[in-house]
Amino acid sequence: MKGPKNLITDVDGVEVGQITIDQDDFHSGVTAILPHPGNVFKRKVPAASYVINGFGKSVGLIQIDELGTIETPIVLTNTFGVGTAINALTKYMLK
């Protein structure tokens, strides 16, 4: 069943933030998904992973596969942005 706009934000409590940088020859961006407005670490969310083409970099999929939950926001970015994304996410979670 889909929501009225067929978007992830149709799910109650889910928030999505996104930024794109498109300057000269530099094209990048990041999307962050918060599954609910509370503390995701304390109120973990059921999750599953599926690799479509086996290409790219990921962090945290083993935990999802082993535990079936996530305990942080989800951050999507390009391959070269994964390190920066995990550092930013770690700082966010420690706050």
Instruction: For residue range 50-77, list pLDDT tens digits in order.
Output: 888 877 888 999 999 999 999 999 999 9
Q: Residue 5 pLDDT more than 90?
A: yes
Q: What pLDDT sits at residue 52?
A: 82
Range of the domain at 40: 8-94
Does residue 33 contact residue 76 with C-beta atoms inside 8 Å?
A: yes
On whether residue 77 sits in a domain, the answer given is yes
Query: If you average pLDDT over every residue of the chain, what do you get?
Result: 92
Domain-located, residue 14: yes
Domain contains 2: no
Number of domains making up the chain: 1
CA separation for the pair 88, 81 (Å, rounded): 11
| 55 assigned to some structural domain | yes
Q: Is residue 3 part of a domain?
A: no
Q: Is residue 30 part of a domain?
A: yes
Is residue 1 domain-resident? no
Per-residue confidence (pLDDT) for residue 49, from 0 to 100: 92
**Per the structure block, which two tokens stand in for 33?**
């998904």
The pair of three-digit structure tokens given for residue 28, joined into one six-digit string: 């990048």
Q: Scan for tokens 């420690």, then name that residue.
A: 94
The answer to the question of residue 56 being in a domain is yes
pLDDT band at 24 (very low <50, low <70, confident <90, very high): very high
